[in-house]
Amino acid sequence: MASTAAAWTTYFGPLALSRAFAPVLAKNGGGAIVNLLSVLSGVTVTTAGTYSASKAADWALTNWLRTGLRDQGTQVLGVHVGPVDTDMTSQLTLPKVKPADVARQVLSALEAGRHEVIADELTRQVKAGLSDEVGIYLNFDPAPPAAASR
């Protein structure tokens, strides 16, 4: 299971950074805060329960910051992404998005004044599944289904 300390970091880290930098951004006429969320902010897997819970809280934090900092001219962008092709995910067999692709999407979203980036196909599927009658969060399996007719 993910450690509780890591879960605290994923929520309280962005909160502390935002509290520290929001006054500086306000003093300079606004700016942007980009919060890197996770596909696991919308679903939970057995091995990452506390991490998923903290990322869900981080998503709520991002939405709160967005409304709270709007009047000072600070844009808050939430970036939802599945596995990114880094050393940390090298052992995962799931499809991964390239870091440069995520960075391009973030810059494009900031320029367009958007509030959210859904950076990869897995995360798009999860986001779409959140509105299903039987939500994807109840039956999420990140492993691609085995081909039944091989």
The strand order across the sheet containing 74-80 reads: 31-36, 74-80, 116-118
pLDDT in tens, 59-70: 999 999 999 999
For the ranges 6-20, 80-94, 128-142, the lowest mean pLDDT is seen at 128-142
Name residue, tokens 């329960």: 49
CA angle, corner 144, sides to 147 and 130, nearest 5? 125
Q: Do residues 85 and 96 touch, judged by C-beta distance below 8 A?
A: yes
Report phi then psi at 48, rounded to 5: -140, 40
pLDDT score at 95: 87
Determine the Cα–Cα distance for residues 36 and 86; give it in Å rounded to an integer.
Answer: 15
Name residue, tokens 């967005």: 66
Burial 20-48 (b: 16+ CB within 10 A, else e): eebeebeeeeebebbbbbbbbbbbbeeeb
Q: What is the largest CA-CA distance in the chain?
A: 61
Grade residue 135 by pLDDT with cuts at 50, 70 and 90: low
SS3 83: coil
